[in-house]
Amino acid sequence: MKSTELFERSLKVAPGGVHSPVRSFTSVGGSPIFFQSALGARLTDVEGKEYIDYCQSFGPLLFGHRNEEIANIVRETVETAWTFGACEPYSLELAEFITANIPWVEKIRFVNSGTEAVMSALRIARAATGRKTILKFDGCYHGHLDSLLVKAGSGLAGTSSSDSAGIDQEMIQNTLVLPLDDEEALENLFHKEGKNICAVAIEPLPANYGLLVQRVEFLKKIANLTKEYGALLLFDEVISGFRVGFQGMAKVLGIEPDLVCYGKIIGGGFPVGAYAGKGIYMDLVAPQGKVYQAGTLSANPLGMRAGLTTLKKALRENPYETLEKSCQTLTQSLVSIFNQETSIEWEEVCFGSLFWFKQKTVEPIRRVSAIPNGHKENFAKMFHKLLNAGIYLAPSGYEVGFLSTAHTNVVIEETIEKAKAAFENK
Ligand SMILES: *Cc1c(COP(=O)(O)O)cnc(C)c1O
């Protein structure tokens, strides 16, 4: 089997040959690799070639592919029950574990994706405040719900229009968008519209349009304004939750959100999302309250038990500091290799086990408009060199990279050696 042949076939049966846009390699050019299997930090493609994987399925795999402890619980679950559509103890255990360890999560509802989580949390915000307006930030991605597909990040980044066809103006007329990192714009907007805003949705660590690390003061300003004007603060921690630390960015920043959304790591590699927060808001959800939300496969045992095993392991082993050090070693070494060979000067952005490569700039990049021209093209060249050398990054210059605990020092050394050889050979 060859990847190119499989892609030819895929193009006939799936739009663009894929089931999520970035996978198609349109951002980096060339034909996508088809992967056959994965273990730890490594992928094997359908042609038998191995890669060291720094995409890690875009974030869910804190402990790498098919971690043994998680694999064991998955095997046990397959022999127990796949789905009931009824009450079971597994989601209870996960809900108890999260609420016991994250103070601002009093109640939680499990869904099947990050998109669903954000969509449902916004429904609560409208119901709780009786207001319609949502504020979001340019470059933050919150899934593909209609009302937030306005200047979003992720697969939309780098395309000519950041909107989507098929979304009527009516669906986004209550969404306001501001640039990140701009307190003045924020204050002006709240001054005019603050009383109409039901929620401010933000990725507290924007990681879907590069890695746009925000100043704490900016996020504190948002928190203060939402409080002052009676809007809810919604932290979208779908990427950052359990990734930058067990309690996510809320803990790192010292800001307690009213509502928080999780995804990715929370399901240990299975499709799970969650929205959560203070009891007064969560109790508005059906059947206790009047905010309807339901799901056939919600809280399915595979996701719940893989998720609980993952989160328990994260709390017990506390891998975060080690991950951050490894991330710095890796990215600093890679940047010095890139900079010996390429015409532009690269620089790494690292936050915990998340990383992004960008052109060196005088000031840190905190908003979309500060990303230098040519970024996409420069990334594409570097991406293909690394890919050839058996190093797999997410196939877009606007996606971040991820480390897992499976990226041991040995794996990182190997990555650096492979990159060196690739860049020396041009
Ligand atoms: C991945 C992501 C989502 C969407 O989650 P899906 O499970 O892909 O629907 C939402 N918000 C953020 C911050 C994300 O990174």
Q: Quick check: is 54 catalytic? A: no
CATH of the domain at 50: 3.90.1150.10
CA distance 134 to 172: 9
The residue out of 317, 349, 377 marking a domain boundary is: 317
Q: For a pLDDT cut of 90, what percent of the chain falls above it?
A: 92
Answer yes or no: is the C-beta of 142 below 6 A from any ligand 1 atom: yes
Residues 248 and 277 both lie in one domain: yes
Answer yes or no: is the C-beta of 67 below 6 A from any ligand 1 atom: no
344 CA to centre of ligand 1 in angstroms: 31
CA distance 101 to 45: 39
Query: Would the pLDDT of 162 be above 60?
Result: no
CA distance 417 to 284: 55
Answer yes or no: is the C-beta of 263 below 6 A from any ligand 1 atom: yes
Query: Would the pLDDT of 160 be above 80?
Result: no
Q: How many domains does the chain have?
A: 2
Cβ contacts of residue 81 below 8 Å, gap of 6+? Answer: 88, 301
Residues 108 and 198 both lie in one domain: yes
The residue out of 317, 333, 351 marking a domain boundary is: 317
The pLDDT of residue 362: 96
Of 403, 310, 398, nearest in space to 352 by CA = 403
Residues 258 and 365 both lie in one domain: no
The pLDDT of residue 158: 39
The pLDDT of residue 153: 57
Q: pLDDT tens digit string along 169-219?
A: 888 889 999 999 999 999 999 999 999 999 999 999 999 999 999 999 999
Answer yes or no: is the C-beta of 143 below 6 A from any ligand 1 atom: yes
Token duo for residue 58: 């875009």
CA distance 302 to 37: 19
Are 290 and 62 spatial neighbours (Cβ–Cβ below 8 Å)?
no
Answer yes or no: is the C-beta of 154 below 6 A from any ligand 1 atom: no
The pLDDT of residue 159: 38
Q: Which of 90, 141, 275, 392 is catalytic?
A: 141
The pLDDT of residue 150: 85
CA distance 37 to 23: 16
The pLDDT of residue 341: 79
CATH of the domain at 158: 3.40.640.10
Residues 21 and 169 both lie in one domain: no
pTM of the predicted model, to two decimals?
Answer: 0.96
Is residue 167 very low, low, confident or very high in pLDDT (cuts 50, 70, 90)?
Answer: confident
263 CA to centre of ligand 1 in angstroms: 7
Q: pLDDT tens digit string along 366-378?
A: 999 999 999 999 9
As a whole number, mean pLDDT of residues 160-177 equals 78
| Closest approach atom of ligand 1 to CA 264 | 7
151 CA to centre of ligand 1 in angstroms: 15
Answer yes or no: is the C-beta of 273 below 6 A from any ligand 1 atom: yes
Answer yes or no: is the C-beta of 113 below 6 A from any ligand 1 atom: yes
Q: pLDDT tens digit string along 64-93?
A: 999 999 999 999 999 999 999 999 999 999
Residues 354 and 259 both lie in one domain: no
As a whole number, mean pLDDT of residues 85-106 equals 98
Q: Which of 107, 264, 313, 418 is catalytic?
A: 264
Answer yes or no: is the C-beta of 208 below 6 A from any ligand 1 atom: yes
Answer yes or no: is the C-beta of 45 below 6 A from any ligand 1 atom: no
Mean pLDDT score of the chain: 95
CA distance 171 to 93: 37
Best of 58, 115, 147 for a ligand 1 pocket test (most atoms within 8 Å of beta carbon): 115
Alpha helices of 79-168 — where are they, by DSSP H?
Answer: 89-101, 114-129
Q: pLDDT tens digit string along 286-332?
A: 999 999 999 999 999 999 999 999 999 999 999 999 999 999 999 99
The pLDDT of residue 97: 98
Of 133, 160, 159, nearest in space to 148 by CA = 133
Residues 190 and 222 both lie in one domain: yes
Residues 158 and 292 both lie in one domain: yes
Residues 277 and 407 both lie in one domain: no
C-alpha distance from residue 137 to each of 131, 210, 223 (Å): 19, 14, 14
The residue out of 277, 300, 317 marking a domain boundary is: 317
41 CA to centre of ligand 1 in angstroms: 22
Residues 303 and 345 both lie in one domain: no
147 CA to centre of ligand 1 in angstroms: 15
Cβ contacts of residue 96 below 8 Å, gap of 6+? Answer: none
292 CA to centre of ligand 1 in angstroms: 21
Q: pLDDT tens digit string along 132-156?
A: 999 999 999 999 999 998 876 555 5
Q: Quick check: is 398 catalytic? A: no
Look at ligand 1, atom 13, and give the residue with the nearest C-alpha. 238
Q: pLDDT tens digit string along 229-243?
A: 999 999 999 999 999
C-alpha distance from residue 199 to each of 114, 233, 311 (Å): 17, 6, 28
Q: Write out the residue range of the structural domain in which residue 296 sits.
A: 68-317
The pLDDT of residue 343: 82
Of 130, 143, 144, 252, nearest in space to 199 by CA = 130
As a whole number, mean pLDDT of residues 372-400 equals 97
The DSSP code for 291 is B
CA distance 237 to 163: 23
Q: pLDDT tens digit string along 11-39?
A: 999 999 999 999 999 999 999 999 999 99
Are 302 and 149 spatial neighbours (Cβ–Cβ below 8 Å)?
no
Residue 17: count of CB within 10 angstroms of its CB: 18
Query: Would the pLDDT of 161 be above 50?
Result: no
Q: Which of 53, 138, 236, 258 is catalytic?
A: 236
Residues 115 and 264 both lie in one domain: yes
Residues 125 and 152 both lie in one domain: yes
208 CA to centre of ligand 1 in angstroms: 9
| Closest approach atom of ligand 1 to CA 118 | 10
Q: pLDDT tens digit string along 256-286?
A: 999 999 999 999 999 999 999 999 999 999 9
Residues 196 and 252 both lie in one domain: yes
Q: Quick check: is 251 catalytic? A: no
The pLDDT of residue 426: 56
